[in-house]
Homo-oligomer: A and B are copies of this chain.
């Protein structure tokens, strides 16, 4: 659970201008485990930050993503999801309920010779299937 103060220091350290909106968005994202969409962030925060605009959320998330402070998740819906970076992990999406789970992952395990001459900056692993909860219902 990251506090506004934690986040505030984090931004200061990286020379990112502190704004109320950025802090709130980042706070929400850091304390969320659901990989929210822009829409979800917007609805969650608009009471607390009534002036908040979706454009600001897009701007903020894109900016923080460029700076590698957060990650943009790739899912097969047509909506971007966002993830406060915590370390190497994979995502599992349940085709039944749509929920996204994180799982630990040893990214060394799948290096391949073919990529020896490539500079790999990011490794994205994404599984699909059915989660235990949905399996038990079928």
Listed in ascending order, the chain A residues whose CB lies under 8 Å from chain B are 72, 74-76, 78, 90, 92, 95, 101, 103-106, 109-110, 112, 114-115, 117-132, 135
Contacts and interface: CB of A to CB of B under 8 A. Distances in A.
A116 to B, nearest CB: 9
Contact of A103 (B72, B76, B115, B130): B115
B95 A110 contact: no
Given A74-B75, A74-B76, A75-B74, A121 B110 contact: no
Given A125-B124, A126-B74, A127-B124, A110 B106 contact: yes
Contacts of A75: 74
Contact of A117 (B95, B110, B114, B132): B132
